[in-house]
Copies of this chain bind each other. A is one copy, B any other.
Amino acid sequence: MFALKKTNQLNSFVRWYSTIKNTTLPPKGFKTGTYACGLKKSGNKDICVIYSEKECNVAAVFTENKVKAAPVLLSKSLIDQHHNSGFQSLIINSGGANACTGQEGDRNAATMSNLSASLLKAKQPSLVMSTGIIGQQLDMTKVEKGIQMATSQLKDNDWVSAAEAIMTTDHVHKLVQKTIELDGKQVNISGICKGAGMIHPNMATMLCTICTDANISAECLKPALKHSIQYSFNSISVDGDMSTNDTVCVFANGMAGNKMITDQKSQDFLLLQQALRETATELAQMIVKDAEGASKFISVVVLNAENEAAGKVVANSICTSSLVKTAIYGEDANWGRVLAAAGASGADIIPSKISMWFSHGDGKDIGIGKKNDPSICMQFLKDGQPTPKNEDRAAQLLANKDIGIIVDLNQGTANYSMWTSDLTVEYVKANSHYRT
């Protein structure tokens, strides 16, 4: 929320906040289909198709890893080729990442795209996402059967099944639905994602698809997604690694019937953008909370940075510090490690100005204002020096599942929040397939 101040959106905040609601009503015109084709040893669903009756404007953000999976390269190329519009379908498989698979992998991704589009009678090839093991070819006999079955059993908006079919090491499916009113019309958003931790034998992937019936131009959808990701998926860290397959994609089919959003400064744009951002933020936080081996959800709130970039650099350094993450696991209010991580971030901080608090909260609204509330916050550092503290009270505070680390840099007016999990014995065991 805090970064709103820097984007001059604060004035509008109160108005739109009250108009963004959770909903059980899905966006109009979308259908989903799932199937268990046998890519997963568990026999769970591994194919998911998402179809829109009407052609959609689309925006997507892909992994910045130089090693990109075949479906990432294909989807990126399709979106560029079709100028972010005209898409009706997305095909996703779990149980195989189709990464490091060479030309055969490229051909298989293309087959998934063309076969699903053809069966759905879509006007353009489908976008494609894959997640699972790196370096193995997909069993295309199974995948093709899966696509045939999933596309032949489409249901109206069965988002729970869709969210289940893309899971890999996730413990729970991840679905967020929001509704807003634009131009007198009800606009709905459904977002699904998968992420969790990294596990045998290679690495997992963060995939997210957000579908909305909002009417918005492709030119406006891109910056809205970029903004949403900046403060959600790009503001979480589980273990600092970036996969070969990470993809976030938004489809907008316009069936809500609102007047098309074409102005990035309009209230309607800002409200839709905020709704997408809140959808993405809740999904991203679900990934952190479900992270392999995590026992704590940690919100890092950097206040009064010189600028937003500096705030993010400091927050990121704290979120990726193994020492901070193990300390929180051990329920140790180790302000020294937090301060050292801030100092090592590269940001031009001034140690003698820094104050710090540990808190507990719900991961959303700790920070501004709350640092003066002794019922949930405890100060550990004032102007760069430790404050006297009650050890029993500190132990009580750190025993919570939701831990806040609030760092006031006292240098400017920019704030930045990030979320991470603790580094636990269970994380190491899960990621090393530790033999007991």
Contacts and interface: CB of A to CB of B under 8 A. Distances in A.
A114 interface: no
Contacts of A162: none
B102 A323 contact: no
A334 to B, nearest CB: 6
Oligomeric state, in copies = 2
A269 interface: no
A424 B334 CA distance: 21
Interface string A126-156: 0000000111000000000000000000000
A67 B337 contact: no
A431 B64 CA distance: 32
Nearest to A101: B385
Contact of A240 (B101, B322, B433): B322
Given A67-B343, A241-B322, A323-B239, A336 B202 contact: yes
A332 B423 CA distance: 20
B64 A344 contact: yes
B386 A135 contact: yes
Contacts of A323: 198, 203, 239, 241, 431
A255 B45 CA distance: 76
Contacts of A429: 425
Interface residues of A, number: 63
A129 to B, nearest CB: 17
Given A344-B64, A344-B65, A425-B425, A321 B241 contact: yes
A334 B435 CA distance: 16
A337 B203 contact: yes
Contacts of A242: 340, 343-344
Nearest to A330: B432
Given A67-B351, A201-B334, A332-B433, A384 B100 contact: yes
A416 interface: no
Nearest to A326: B431
A1 interface: no
Given A322-B322, A323-B203, A348-B66, A241 B340 contact: yes
A244 interface: yes
Contacts of A332: 200-201, 432-433
A262 B43 CA distance: 72
Interface in A326-385: 326-327, 329-330, 332, 334-337, 339-345, 347-351, 381, 384-385
A171 to B, nearest CB: 19
A343 B202 contact: no
Given A322-B322, A423-B428, 11 more contacts: A65-B340, A65-B343, A67-B339, A100-B351, A100-B384, A102-B385, A202-B334, A203-B337, A239-B323, A244-B343, A424-B428
11 contacts: A67-B339, A67-B342, A67-B351, A100-B385, A100-B386, A102-B385, A200-B332, A201-B332, A241-B321, A329-B432, A330-B434
Return the 10 tightest CB-CB contacts between A and B, nearest first.
A330-B432, A67-B343, A202-B336, A134-B336, A326-B431, A65-B343, A66-B343, A242-B344, A135-B386, A239-B322
